[in-house]
Amino acid sequence: MNTADVIVIGTGGMGSAACAQLALRGASVIGLDRFPLAHDRGSSHGQTRLIRQAYYEHPDYVPLLLEAYRLWRRLEEDTGRRLLFQSGLMMAGSPEGEAIAGTLRAADIHGLPVERLAVAEAQRRFPHFRLDDGWIAIWEAAAGYLMVEDCIRAFAAVAQSHGARFKTDVAVLGWTAGAHGVMVDTDRGTFRADRLVIAPGAGASELARLNSIPLTILKKSMFWYRPKAAVAADFAAASAAPGSTGFPCFAFDTPAGFYYGFPALDDRGVKMAEHTGGRLVRNPLTLDRTLDRNEEARVAAIARAHLPDLGTDLAYDSSCMYTMAPDGQFVIGLHPESPRVAVAAGFSGHGFKFASVVGAILADLALNGRTTQPIGFLAPDRFRSQINERPLLS
């Protein structure tokens, strides 16, 4: 049967979370996707994603993050899977820069425990880092990383255990919403439901039909550097052994751009990437996934400058996509054309950490037409009066 209470278009990070929340609340759910669960063709893959609370992009995200942490832990309890690892995050850069100043501001507004470290103290604690004169560092112990593909599989497991159906290898051609429900046309027939959730990642420009929101897609690359044998243990993530601390997540706000990375989780080594920059993508279905030598050279230069003991022995690379909203903030709310349709788009390269709470918000919107979560600053209709704001990057 191609009918349900709610259809979800897109079953990546946000869509799979929505399927789980909807099914937990007793709704019948069909999740549609062109690709298999936890695939590597969109934005939610590549082993890890950062999670942090002192959010420089906008302090209004912090309440959402605190709820996201709670829901990630609930998902771990429900599935028996370890998904969120609080390795800590060491972020360094100019104290006047957007990242450092914004992080301290968000921490001050919301009373979050972060430490401000002088360069000498940061390098004493983390001897493999080299920081520029004039920088400061911020240590956020509550930060860490999520296992991105495992998170999606966990959402799907919860959803399926409560009756949700996932239909993959299905291309969505369009949708309509009227007084009596919604219809989704696909290459596998028409699906019908009372409500619709649209969370299509890089496909949002075509599928979400948000005419006032020009979304830009960027190709982003991730690189794994295998540490030298003599120091490999120093760059490893914490083990399960009592007292094990492990290497932290890290970020550098440099004049050349914003770069971030993770401890080594396997023999591929330390994952690093540039958050700024990116190459424009015209068609997400034909993304060129070959190694971007220029982007790798920039990341390797940061590794040599700020993690000189790591080396730049490239073991692996992967590509994903950022779907950028004009202001770099998310787009979450009821669709401007229909109260039967909830939409989540434009996560601008910093959204996955919110997937647990976004799923709950989408379920609220689909089933109740409203949510108590503070998402007013992310409303789709904000772009009708917004002009030429510079994208914020994390």
Known catalytic residue at 3: no
Exactly one of 48, 103, 186, 254 is catalytic; name it: 48
Exactly one of 41, 220, 271, 340 is catalytic; name it: 271
3-state SS, 233-290, equals HHHECCCCCCCCCCCCEEEEEECCEEEEEECECCCCCEEEEECCCCEECCCHHHCCCC
Distance, in Å, from the CA atom of 244 to the CA atom of 234, rounded to the nearest integer, reads: 11
Exactly one of 312, 353, 371, 382 is catalytic; name it: 353
Q: Which two tokens stand for residue 20?
A: 């789980």
Exactly one of 34, 41, 45, 350 is catalytic; name it: 45
The letter for the amino acid at 96 is E
Q: Which two tokens stand for residue 88?
A: 């800590």
Task: Say if residues 303 and 332 touch (Cβ distance below 8 Å).
Answer: no
Exactly one of 275, 335, 340, 350 is catalytic; name it: 275
Known catalytic residue at 19: no
Residues 6+ apart with CB under 8 A from 240: none
Residues 6+ apart with CB under 8 A from 238: 85, 87, 244, 245, 246, 263
Known catalytic residue at 220: no
The DSSP secondary structure of 349-383, one letter per residue, reads T--GGGHHHHHHHHHHHHHHS--SS--GGG-GGGG
Exactly one of 49, 52, 306, 340 is catalytic; name it: 49
Q: Which two tokens stand for residue 173?
A: 């051609």
Known catalytic residue at 323: no
Supply the DSSP symbol for 169: S
Known catalytic residue at 192: no
Distance, in Å, from the CA atom of 355 to the CA atom of 378, rounded to the nearest integer, reads: 15
Known catalytic residue at 162: no
Known catalytic residue at 45: yes
Collapsing DSSP to helix, strand or coil, 102 comes out as helix
Give the max Cα distance, the chain: 67
Exactly one of 195, 320, 323, 350 is catalytic; name it: 320
Q: Report the catalytic residues.
A: 45, 48-49, 271, 275, 320, 353
